[in-house]
Structure 1
Amino acid sequence: MMDVLLNHRTIRKYTDQPIDDTLLSDILTAGTRASTTGNMQVYSIVVTRDEEMKEKLAPTHFGQPVFKNAPVSLTFCADFNRFNKWCRQRNAEPGYDNFQSFVAAAIDALLVAQNVCVAAESRGLGICYLGTVTYNADKIIDILNLPKGVVPVATVTLGWPDEDPAQTERLPLEAVVHQETYKDYSMEDIDRLYQEKEELEANKQFVAENEKETLAQVFTDVRYTKANNEHFSKVYLDVLKKQGFLD
């Protein structure tokens, strides 16, 4: 299992080979063994295989080829709809129409998603996490017919790999692990911790292609701009209100 985790690669190209129903069921079952808040399992997973449904959903993921190329895509949702119904049918009044409950359900869904990813990779499948769900959650809700109490939080594509890409770099452990208390970073720390990342030829090319001076500017000025962050924040907050998690 350590080898599976340490050798993770994002796979964006898949073969035409389908994923067997039994294999997919085994992977999803492994996903459901993830830790969950109070053993409530306040999440749902929507499986997408149908080509027509892929066509409808593809624009919500900004047309990324990996979404349409994958034989299976999984949308992980924070879901209090099912739990609320169970409570009411058992003469218990749920009080989960709040942000705290959404956060708990979102954490549940993401823990399941990671279990699914590890289980899939352990069986030789490739996966790609799509971080586009929160940008267009309102449209995904409409397409997938998600009722009140259900909010999409992540999508993962699955398929048999048709590529063997290099691993994406990661910051050194020192950059992300703090012992006992949080140790803030000095300017010298930042320079040291990001040096290897900034000196990679692929990242230098990334900077040049975007006509920027630094890698950080690619993130702030091109990939994740303040204007876009504010716009999509509003969209997602509106979704949380519509789906019953915010007043």
Structure 2
Amino acid sequence: MIDILKNHRTIRKYTDKPISEELLNEILEAGVRASTTGNMQVYSVVVTQDAAMKEKLAPCHFNQPMVKQAPVTLTFCADFNRFNLWCRQRNAEPGYDNFLSFVTAAIDALLVAQNVCVAAEAKGLGICYLGTTTYLADKIIDVLELPKGVVPITTVTLGYPDEDPKQVDRLPLSGVIHFETYKNYTSEQIDELYKTKENLEENKAFVAENDKDTLAQVFTDVRYKKADNEHFSKVLLEVLSKQGFM
């Protein structure tokens, strides 16, 4: 299992080999054994396999091709709807219409998602997390017909790999692990931690292609711009209000 975790690769191209119902259920069963706050299991997973539904879902992920190409697309949702219904049917009034409850459910959903991904890779499948889910959560809610109390958190495409990409870089362990208390970084430490990333040929090409001076500028000015962050933050906050978490 350690080797599986350390050899993780993001797979964006898949063969047309289907995932059997038995294997998919086995992977999902492993997923729902993840830790959950208070054993409430305040999450749901929407499985998309139908081609027509993938067509509807693709624009919600900026039409990334793997949404339609992968045999299975999984949308992991923070879900207090089911728990609230149970509470009210048992003469208990739920108090989960607040931001803390959303965070609780979002954490639950992400824990399940990671369990699913590790289980899938252990069975020879490839996965890709889609960070677009929270950007267009309002559109996904409409496509998947998510009721009040349910918010999509992340999406994972699942299938047999049709590529063997190299691993992407990671910061050294010393860059992300702190013992006992958080130790802030000196400018010299920042230089050292990001040196390898900045010197990768593909990242140098990335900087040149975008006509920037540094890799950091690619992130701040091109990939994750302030204006975009503010726009999608507004959209997500509106979603949380509409879905009953504010």
**Is it true that 1:213 corresponds to 2:213 in the alignment?**
yes
Give, in whole Å, the separation in 1 of the partners of 2:168 and 2:65. Answer: 19
1:129-176, Cα deviation, whole Å (9 max, x unpaired): 000000000000001000000000000000000000000100000110
- Output the amino acid matched with 2:32: T
1:71-91, Cα deviation, whole Å (9 max, x unpaired): 100000000000000000011
Give the corresponding residue for 1:146: 146
- Output the amino acid matched with 1:2: I
**Is it true that 1:164 corresponds to 2:164 in the alignment?**
yes
Give, in whole Å, the separation in 2 of the partners of 1:217 and 1:223. Answer: 9
Give, in whole Å, the separation in 2 of the partners of 1:225 and 1:155. Answer: 22
Give, in whole Å, the separation in 2 of the partners of 1:21 and 1:210. Answer: 44
- Secondary structure of the equivalent of 1:112? helix
Runs of 4+, deviation exceeding 3 Å: none
Give the corresponding residue for 1:222: 222
Give, in whole Å, the separation in 2 of the partners of 1:67 and 1:203. Answer: 26
Give the corresponding residue for 1:89: 89
Q: How far off its partner does 1:244 sit?
A: 0.1
| Mapping of residues 9-20 of structure 1, within 5 Å | 9-20=9-20
Q: How far off its partner does 1:212 sit?
A: 0.7
Gaps of 5+ in 1: none
- Secondary structure of the equivalent of 2:193? helix
| Mapping of residues 1-247 of structure 1, within 5 Å | 1-246=1-246
Give, in whole Å, the separation in 2 of the partners of 1:47 and 1:14. Answer: 17
Q: How far off its partner does 1:66 sit?
A: 1.3
Q: Normalising by structure 2, report the TM-score.
A: 1.00
Q: How far off its partner does 1:230 sit?
A: 0.2
Gaps of 5+ in 2: none
Give, in whole Å, the separation in 2 of the partners of 1:212 and 1:69. Answer: 33
Q: How many residues align?
A: 246
Give, in whole Å, the separation in 1 of the partners of 2:90 and 2:190. Answer: 54
- Secondary structure of the equivalent of 2:152? strand
- Output the amino acid matched with 2:113: A
Moved more, 205-214 or 31-40: 205-214
Give, in whole Å, the separation in 1 of the partners of 2:56 and 2:159. Answer: 20
- Output the amino acid matched with 1:210: N
- Superposed CA RMSD in Å reads 0.4
Sequence identity of aligned pairs in percent? 76
- Output the amino acid matched with 1:13: K
Give, in whole Å, the separation in 2 of the partners of 1:180 and 1:11. Answer: 36
- Secondary structure of the equivalent of 1:19? coil
- Secondary structure of the equivalent of 1:22? helix
